[in-house]
Amino acid sequence: MRLAYFPGCKIPFYLKEYGRSFEAVMGKLGVELVSLPFNCCGYPSRNKSLEISVLSSIRNLALAEKHGLDVITPCKCCFGQFKQAVYWWNNHTKLKVKIDALLKKEGLAWKGKTQIKHLLSFLHDDTGLEKLKQQMTRQLPNHKIAVQYGCHVLRPFSITGFDNPYAPQIFEALVNMTGLKTVEWSKSTECCGNPIYETNKKLSLKILLAKLRSAADSGAAYICNACTHCQIQYNYMEMEQESEKFNITPVLFTQLLGIAMGLSKKELGIKDNQLLNL
């Protein structure tokens, strides 16, 4: 299977280990990731210019469609932005006409055929749990782990269509396959606070501290992320040594899955000082 790989803007600069582990897992599954000259997904401009934000996404989809490829991304923010852009393009004729005209100047056109896949939904729905289980060479210890869903894939469900926004199950099903034991916690679907970190750091970290307390109360030793922004946010807390107060380690799902699949720490971008007792 060949898919156009959309890492987003953050992973190559701020979270290289997510990109490395994602690519390693996809390679193990026999998925060929194709790099295309993508631009930003458009999310950062959404509140300033809807037109630019939608154009940014649709242009990327047009590039993928030109090569006959669907798009996969490990970034939930990018996934949500793509879905939002498709909604606006499909439901607002004037905006669609303007965007199509701008694309035409570049020799591009989007017919609406490109599918957008997030890492989790691809593993759960396209690969399937049974096939994924066959790729695992070991079971991880049944340590308690909380999963952080991320906002952009869940809401609004009428646009993203990812999972039940009130009681999602995809992430837990995938994590439990590794041998780790997911816990229920009250803030699993709430925002991590990262979108406002640069404009209101105090409030951003206050939101995250509340999440850490909730996860600690559930008995979790780890918080598992499959969202670029969420992992970056928890990394901020690690740098400020706040997560240590709760004895919780933030970890990327791709790294956990990769370990269960027999991939090396080097392949997964796991640092020697990373607190992974697995």
At 57-90, the pLDDT tens digits run 999 999 999 999 999 999 999 999 999 999 999 9
Considering only residues 271 and 104, tell me which one the structure prediction assigns the higher pLDDT.
Answer: 104
Token pair of 48 as six digits: 């300033």
The CATH number of the domain covering residues in 138-268: 3.40.50.11810
- Quick check: helix, strand or coil at residue 144? strand
Considering only residues 82 and 246, tell me which one the structure prediction assigns the higher pLDDT.
Answer: 82
Which residue is it, tokens 């105090």? 202
Is pTM beyond 0.85? Reply is yes
What is the mean predicted confidence (pLDDT) over 137-154? 95
8 A C-beta contact, residue 242 and residue 212: yes
Helices (H), 165-227: 170-176, 201-217
> What number of other Cβ atoms are within 10 A of residue 154's Cβ?
18
Comparing CA positions, the residue from 7, 21, 10, 1 lying closest to residue 276 is 21
**Residues 6+ positions from 174 with CB-CB distance below 8 Å:** 120, 123, 124, 129, 132, 253, 257
8 A C-beta contact, residue 198 and residue 44: no
**Residue 13 reports pLDDT greater than 70:** yes
Give me the pLDDT at residue 241, please: 65
What is the mean predicted confidence (pLDDT) over 165-184? 97
At 15-49, the pLDDT tens digits run 999 999 999 999 999 999 999 999 999 999 998 99
What is the mean predicted confidence (pLDDT) over 169-190? 96
Give me the pLDDT at residue 240, please: 65
Segments making up each domain of the chain, as ranges: 2-119, 138-268
| Virtual torsion, Cα 135, 136, 137, 140, nearest 10 deg | 170
What is the mean predicted confidence (pLDDT) over 187-202? 92
What is the mean predicted confidence (pLDDT) over 237-266? 87
**Residue 7 reports pLDDT greater than 80:** yes
Q: What's the pLDDT band for 246 if we cut at 50, 70, 90? A: confident
Backbone dihedral angles phi then psi of residue 200, each to the nearest 5 degrees: -150, 75
Q: What's the pLDDT band for 239 if we cut at 50, 70, 90? A: low
2-119: CATH class: mainly alpha
Matching CATH topology for 2-119 and 138-268?
Answer: no
Q: What's the pLDDT band for 243 if we cut at 50, 70, 90? A: low
Give me the pLDDT at residue 275, please: 58
Helix (H) or strand (E) holding 145: strand 144-148
| Virtual torsion, Cα 138, 133, 230, 167, nearest 10 deg | -130
